[in-house]
Amino acid sequence: MSKYRLDGQQAIQLSLSAGDRLEILSPDQAQSTELIVLDAHGTLAPALLDKRPPGVAIGIQQQLQQRGAASQRLRNQLNTWQLDDASLQQAITVSGAEYAKFTATNALTVVIAAAGPNMSVEAHTPVTEVDITVTYANLAESLLPAPLAPIKHELRVNRATAQTYEVKKGEWIQIIDVSGKQCSDFIAFDKQALEQGIVLGLDATATRTVMGLSNPVPGLHSRYLGSDLKPMIEVVQDTVGRHDSFLLACTPKYYEDSGYFGHASCTDNFNQRLAHYGIAPRAGWPAINLFFNTFIDASGAVLMDEPWSRAGDYILMRAERDLVCASSACPDDIDPANGWHPTDIHVRIYDAAQDFPRAIAYRNTSEELPRMTKPSGFHPRTSALTKKFIDYTGYWVATEYDGWGTNAEYLACRERVALLDLSVIRKFEIFGPDVVAFLQYVLTQNISRMAIGEIAHSAICLETGGMIDDGTIFRMGEQAFRWCCGAEYTGIWMREKAQEKGFKVSIRNASAQLDNLAVQGPNSRELLSKLIWTPDSQPAVEKLKWFHFTIGRLGGAAGVPVMVSRTGYTGELGYEVWCHPDDSEAVWDAVWQAGQRFQIAPMGLNALDVLRIEAGLSMAEHEFDHSTTPFEAGTGFSVPLHSKQENFIGREALSRQAPESRHRLVGMILQGGDPASHGDHVYHGRFPVGIVTSATYSPLMGKQIAIVRVAPDFSSIGTRLEIGKLDGQQKRLAGEVVKLPFYDPKREKLLA
């Protein structure tokens, strides 16, 4: 069986044999799919898969007829597969509500498209992903993932063995866990040095020292170093994110000490293979233990458990010099290292001329296929200004910009205007006849009081009152809303709740169809009011009230369609401009050019964090998590228990919590220059009374500040507390409790 996730506005080509079964499912039950079937000779043959009369591929046609990257990408794919416009007249269409199952009656090739036009900013019809499953009639069909590109060379490392191979500088190495939960020790040597009789290999200690990480990750800190402190290999993609660089490859001694004499080991297997290169045998090889799940507990003990890797998971690396490499399929079957059952490893080598995006995998649920880090539509502009990006919940987001830096970006936002790519925010279109009743049930906020064009902040809670997420809800129409939040899982959870209770609503993920650019600072209104045209039926930008939005166009009535909201995460007067990713570069360019007279600056996450802490704004996994209620997270204003009569998830638990017993979110101004950190304990005497949720140096105040959650007995303004460093006892940072926010306590700038 092979599984695929087909993203919206994308297409995939699959080859099926007679008897193979194809299943297609739309997770939101709304995305149609179109199939073009070809026989072994390349002739259109839809009857090989479905006996129903074929029809026109309307979604594909609509996507091809528009301008932009999505259209061009699909056109290029169809050209590569030699599909002309005539082939679009012979398509099988699967509706989103249908769980389609097909069986191939003969060998065939099928092109599957989840196609459709770009969603306009005011619409509610994003083109979304579909899930595809192929069950092979021949059980011997390979379970390996599809190659990332044409393969230059590949080899199978059978269970309990090792293989050596050579790669040239610039070539790509993909190491695949074939069946899942299988470790693979990896070692590499400088080939030129070996030819001179010098054994210069990967050095995990050098790597950890220079990279500052236990293991390199795709992005800025991605290199494994040699013992000469120079890069040997770059980690480019990783679908697991859990490896070991502390321990030796398994050794004969380990098995002998455990009573398994003569047991195969990675070290012995490496010694046998490396003898060909004149490399002396060792009692234990220091290796990069790919997929090996080790961790260190509070006492400092190194522990291990089954690998996190699933079948088909991989790590992709690029050689930074000519290398001699060795990979093992670890034979350990006496502990959980290989899930108690050693299996094979597969290695693919790709030519240096290929190019692959840097990406880290994440999953919204444990069962789904990995999702890889992706850039937003603004990335061509932001990446021209900096290389400092991090993977932030599945998107590459800049931390700071070359030539500016955190302080300059912060000051630009406080004093002038700054722009920030916030496309990482997830967007969901929620609409249908039961939409108000549904949102009243899943959100804490009173949605029924909202007007069209209004925005409200809300929390989403578990039955315990703990927060799953928070976000902003936009009322787009009488029966249409847009939910913008931090966690993609929120949409899955909402869909489950709608199905459980039988609400007639659609919940569709529009994140891939909407980018958003934050334009924040005292000059943001003047900048955008000259830039955004709005029709008579919509409020002008300069008239837009706080937490309201308008629909308009960039530059004039024929310009790029945009939505502008008076929202932000900085505590300053500010807006967000929302657009389709195909239009993101045009939006950035227009704002950037118009902002030059205000000395506009780009802004990264580092400066944003300083701004939002000064503004006392909550952040997931800092001020709140599943164990924190909105009242304890400083967002109690989003839970109107008195004015909202309807029941909502978590209401009963929140109502039971006595206000005087709640821990409270307050500020602390610290003495001295030592910084506090997220997770530090807050003390009154010997024992902790709270915890630091966020901390930073405030350029505005010239002091170290912190947001802390403390017991109600110690939350009064002026209370003197200490933040524990080191072991919490031998070093303390003295400070005083103050009211949040630190900046603009009356929100006068925000509401101006």
- What does the pLDDT look like over 387-419, one tens digit per residue? 999 999 999 999 999 999 999 999 999 999 999
pTM, to two decimals: 0.94
Q: Per-domain residue ranges for the chain?
A: 2-135, 151-355, 379-423+514-612, 426-510, 662-752
Q: Which contiguous run of DSSP H or E holds residue 32?
A: none
**Per-position b or e across 156-175, b if 16+ CB within 10 A of its CB:** ebebbbbbbbebeeebbbbb
pLDDT surpasses 60 at 557: yes
Per-residue pLDDT tens for 62-85?
A: 999 998 899 999 999 999 999 999
Q: Give residue 67's pLDDT.
A: 84
pLDDT surpasses 80 at 140: no
Largest CA distance in the chain: 84
Residue 393 is given by DSSP the state T
Q: Give residue 142's pLDDT.
A: 59
Per-residue pLDDT tens for 586-644?
A: 999 999 999 999 999 999 999 999 999 999 999 999 999 999 999 999 999 999 999 99
Q: Give residue 348's pLDDT.
A: 98
Which residue shows structure tokens 């003295």?
734
Share above pLDDT 90 across residues of the chain, in percent, rounded to a whole number: 95
In this structure, what token pair is assigned to residue 514?
Answer: 């909407």
Q: Give residue 1's pLDDT.
A: 84
* 379-423+514-612 CATH: 3.30.1360.120
Tell me the mean pLDDT in the region 198-217. 94
CA angle 570, 572, 573 (to 5 degrees): 130
In this structure, what token pair is assigned to residue 446?
Answer: 């009173």
User: Class of the 2-135 domain?
Assistant: mainly beta
Q: Which contiguous run of DSSP H or E holds residue 729?
A: none
Q: Which one-letter amino acid corresponds to residue 683? A: Y
Share above pLDDT 70 across residues of the chain, in percent, rounded to a whole number: 100
If one counts every other C-beta atom within 10 angstroms of the C-beta of residue 604, the result is: 25
pLDDT surpasses 90 at 144: no
Question: Domain 662-752 sits in which CATH superfamily?
Answer: Aminomethyltransferase beta-barrel domains (2.40.30.110)
Task: Round to whole Å and give the CA distance between 593 and 589.
Answer: 6
* 426-510 CATH: 3.30.70.1400
Confidence of residue 53 (pLDDT cuts 50, 70, 90): very high
Tell me the mean pLDDT in the region 525-531. 97
SS (H, E, C) 540-574: CHHHCCCCEEEEEEECCCCCCEEEEECCCCCCCCE
Per-residue pLDDT tens for 249-267?
A: 999 999 999 999 999 999 9
Tell me the mean pLDDT in the region 467-495. 98
Closest by alpha carbon to 572, among 728, 463, 418?
A: 418
Per-residue pLDDT tens for 371-381?
A: 999 999 999 99
Strand partners, 704: 697
Strands 2-6 and 130-135: antiparallel
Q: Give residue 433's pLDDT.
A: 98
Per-residue pLDDT tens for 482-512?
A: 999 999 999 999 999 999 999 999 999 999 9
Confidence of residue 141 (pLDDT cuts 50, 70, 90): low
pLDDT surpasses 70 at 750: yes
Q: Give residue 752's pLDDT.
A: 86
Per-residue pLDDT tens for 419-433?
A: 999 999 999 999 999
pLDDT surpasses 90 at 22: yes
